[in-house]
Amino acid sequence: MIPNDRKYTRDHEWVKIEGSIAKLGITAHAAEALGDIVFVELPAVDKDVAIGDGYCVVESVKAVSNVYSSVSGKVVEVNEALDANPEKLNEDAYGQFIAAVEFTEVADNLMDAEAYEAFLAEQE
Amino acid sequence: MKSYVPNTEKERREMLSVLGLESMDELFSDIPADLRLNRPLDLPDGVSEIELRSILAGYALQNEDDGLLFRGAGAYSHYIPSVVPQLAMRSEFYTAYTPYQAEMSQGMLQALFEYQTVICRLTGMDVANASVYDGATAAAEAMIMLRDSKRRKKMLYSAALNPDVIAVIKTYAHCLGIETVEIPVGADGLTDISAIAANMEGAAGMIAAQPNYYGNIEDMQAISDAVHAANGLMVAYVNPITLGLMKRPAEYGADIAVGDGQPLGLPLSFGGPYVGFMATTAKLMRNLPGRIAGQTADAEGNRVFVLTLQAREQHIRREKASSNICSNQMLCAVMAAIYCCTMGPAGMKEVAQHNIAKAHYLAEQLAAIDGITLRYPETPFFNEFVVDTTLPAQELNDALKDIGITGGLVLPDGGMLWCATEMNAREEIDFLCDTIKSIMGGIR
Amino acid sequence: MRSSYKLIFERSREGRRAYDMPELDVPCACGTIPEGMRAVSRLDLPELGEVDLVRHYTNLSRRNFGVDNGFYPLGSCTMKYNPKINEELAAMFNSVHPRLDADMAQGCLRLMKDTEDMLCEICGMDAFTLQPAAGAHGELAGLMHIRAYHEHRGDTARTTIIVPDAAHGTNPASAVMAGFKVKEIKSAPDGGVDLDALRAAVGSDTAGLMLTNPSTLGLFERNIKKIAEIVHNAGGLLYYDGANLNAIMGIVRPGDMGFDVMHINLHKTFSTPHGGGGPGSGPVGVKSHLMPFMPVPVLKEDEDGMIVPDYDRPESIGKVKSLYGNFGVIVKAYCYIRSLGGRGLKEASENAVLNANYIMHRLRGAYGIPHDRTCMHECVVTPGELVDYGVHTSDIAKALIDRGYHPPTIYFPLIVHEAMMIEPTETESRETLDEFVDAMLDIAKVAKTDPGAIHAAPVTTPVGRPDEVAAARKPIVKYW
Say yes or no for a CB contact (<8 Å) between A61 and C472: yes
Q: Decide if B37 and C253 are in contact by the 8 Å CB cutoff.
A: yes
- Could B92 and C18 be called an inter-chain contact, meaning their C-beta atoms sit closer than 8 Å? no
CATH (domain of C313)? 3.40.640.10
Confidence band (pLDDT; 50, 70, 90) for C68? very high
Average pLDDT score over chain C: 96
DSSP-assigned beta bridge partners for residue B63: C105
Instruction: Report chain A residues whose CB lies below 8 A from the CB of C411.
Output: 62
The answer to whether B267 and B111 have CB atoms below 8 angstroms apart is no
Chains in touch with C (≥3 Cβ pairs < 8 A): A, B
Q: Quickly count: other Cβ atoms within 10 Å of residue C289's Cβ.
A: 13
DSSP readout, B341-368?
HHHHHHHHHHHHHHHHHHHHHHHHHHHT
Bridge-partner residues for B155, per DSSP?
B180, B205
Domain count, chain C: 3
Contact B292, B306 (CB under 8 A): no
Distance, CA of C330 to CA of C133 (rounded, Å): 10
Query: What pLDDT digit, counting tens, does each position of C241-269 carry?
Result: 999 999 999 999 999 999 999 999 999 99
Name the CATH code of domain B83-339 (choices 3.40.640.10, 3.30.540.10, 3.60.110.10, 3.40.50.300).
3.40.640.10
Judged by CB atoms closer than 8 Å, whether chains meet at B95 and C139 is answered as no
- Rg over alpha carbons for chain B, rounded to the nearest Å, is 26
Domain at C443, CATH number: 3.90.1150.10
Q: Is the pLDDT of residue C145 over 50?
A: yes
Q: What is the edge-to-edge ordering of all strands in the sheet holding B416-419?
A: B372-374, B384-389, B416-419, B409-410
Q: Is residue C68 part of a domain?
A: no
**Would the pLDDT of B185 be above 90?**
yes
Q: What phi, psi does C460 have (nearest 5°)?
A: -95, -5
CATH for B344-443?
3.90.1150.10
Task: Calculate the average pLDDT of chain B.
Answer: 96
Burial class of C129 by CB neighbour count within 10 A (0 to 12, 13 to 18, 19+): buried
pLDDT at A61 over 90: no
Task: Look at A61 and C468 and tell me if their CB atoms are within 8 Å.
Answer: yes
For residues C171 and C289, membership in a common domain is answered with yes
User: Cα–Cα distance between B219 and B211 in angstroms, integer?
Assistant: 10
Look up residue B31 and give its DSSP letter.
S
| Residue boundaries of the structural domains of chain B | 83-339, 344-443
Mean pLDDT of B328-340: 98
Model pTM? Answer: 0.96
Q: How many CB pairs under 8 A join A and B?
A: 18
End-of-domain residue from the set C317, C338, C359? C338
Domain boundaries, chain A: 7-123
Residue of B nearest to A65 (CA): B317
Task: Tell me the average pLDDT across C172-197.
Answer: 93
Q: Which residues pair with C80 in a beta bridge?
A: none
Q: C476: which chain A residues are within 8 Å (Cβ-Cβ)?
A: none
Shared domain check, C463 and C321: no
Q: Are residues C358 and C384 in the same domain?
A: yes
Shared-domain flag, residues C346 and C334:
no
User: Above pLDDT 90, what percent of chain B?
Assistant: 95
A 10 A CB-CB count for B85 gives: 17
Q: Cα-flanking dihedrals φ and ψ of residue C431, to 5°?
A: -70, -30
Q: Are residues C219 and C346 in the same domain?
A: no
Instruction: Indicate the residue of C324, C338, C461 with minimum beta-carbon distance to B270.
Output: C324
Residues C302 and C236 in one domain: yes
Poorest-confidence range of B207-221, B309-323, C235-249? B309-323
CA proximity to B381, closest of B395, B367, B400, B398: B367
DSSP secondary structure letter of residue C457: -
Whether residue B101 contacts residue C402, with contact meaning beta carbons closer than 8 Å, is answered with no
For residue C473, list chain A residues with Cβ-Cβ distance below 8 A: 36, 38-39, 86-87
Residue C70 located in a structural domain: no
- Asked whether residue C274 falls in the same domain as residue C169, the answer is yes
Residue type, C301: E
Q: How far is C466 from chain A (nearest CA, A)?
A: 12
Whether residue C78 lies inside any domain: the answer is no
- Of residues C1, C164, C332, C339, the one with CA closest to residue B302: C1
Residues C253 and C150 in one domain: yes
Q: Do B311 and A41 touch (CB under 8 A)?
A: no
Chains in contact with B, where contact means 3 or more Cβ–Cβ distances below 8 Å, are A, C
Query: Which band of pLDDT confidence, cut at 50, 70 and 90, is reported for residue B442?
Result: low
- Which among A71, C215, C85 has a CA at the least distance from the CA of B46? C85
Residue B444 has pLDDT above 70, yes or no: no
Q: What is the mean pLDDT of residues C272-285?
A: 97
Q: What is the pLDDT of residue A62?
A: 76
A:54-73 residues touching chain C, CB 8 A cutoff: 59, 61-62
Is C226 found in the same domain as C167?
yes
The per-residue b/e assignment along C315-354, b for 16 or more CB within 10 angstroms, e otherwise, is: ebbbbbbbbbbbbbbbbbbbbbbbbbbbbbbbbbbbbbbb
Q: Are residues C356 and C332 in the same domain?
A: no
Q: Judge whether B278 and B133 are in contact, CB under 8 Å.
A: no
Do C367 and C321 have their domain in common? no
Across the interface, do A86 and C469 touch by the CB < 8 Å criterion? no
Quick one: which H or E segment has residue A49? Answer: strand A48-49
Angle between helices C135-152 and C170-177 (to 10 degrees): 40
Which sign does the torsion angle of CA A23, A24, A27, A31 carry? Answer: negative
Residue-wise pLDDT tens digits, A86-97? 999 999 999 999
Read off the pLDDT of each residue in C105-115 and give the average, rounded to a whole number. 98
Q: With contacts defined as CB-CB under 8 Å, which chain C residues touch B297?
A: 466-467, 470
What integer is the mean pLDDT of C195-207? 97
Domain containing residue C182? 84-338
For residue C187, being part of any structural domain is answered with yes
Pinpoint the alpha helices (H) of C308-450: 327-363, 393-402, 430-449
- ipTM for the whole predicted complex goes beyond 0.90: yes
Give the domain-ending residue among C301, C320, C338: C338
Q: Is the pLDDT of residue B166 over 70?
A: yes
Q: What is the pLDDT of residues C376-415, one digit of tens each?
A: 999 999 999 999 999 999 999 999 999 999 999 999 888 8
Whether C469 sits inside 8 A of A61 (CB atoms) is: yes
The answer to whether C61 contacts B426, with C-beta atoms less than 8 Å apart, is: no
CB atoms C33 and B356 under 8 Å: yes
Q: Are strands B276-280 and A13-18 parallel, antiparallel or unpaired?
A: unpaired
Closest-CA distance, A123 to chain C, in angstroms, reads: 18
Judged by a CB distance cut-off of 8 A, whether residue B60 touches chain A is no
CB C422 within 8 Å of CB C71: no
Q: Which C residues in the span 456-475 are in contact with A, Cβ-Cβ below 8 Å?
A: 468-469, 472-473
Using one digit for the tens of pLDDT, what is the confidence trace for B112-136? Answer: 999 999 999 999 999 999 999 999 9
- CB contacts of C469 in chain A (<8 Å) are 36, 38, 61
- Widest CA span of chain A, in angstroms? 38
Contact between chains at B270 and C98 (C-beta distance less than 8 A):
yes
Interface of A with B (CB under 8 A): 38-39, 41, 59-64
Tens-digit pLDDT profile for residues B251-264: 999 999 999 999 99
Average pLDDT of the residues in C117-140: 98
Q: Per CATH, is A7-123 categorized as 2.40.30.170? A: no
Q: Are residues C332 and C347 in the same domain?
A: no
Are A36 and C411 in contact (CB < 8 Å)?
no
Is C108 among the domain residues? yes
Domains B83-339 and B344-443 share a fold: no
Flag whether C224 is in a domain: yes
Using the 8-state DSSP alphabet, how is residue B179 labeled?
A: E
A92 and C CB contact within 8 Å: no
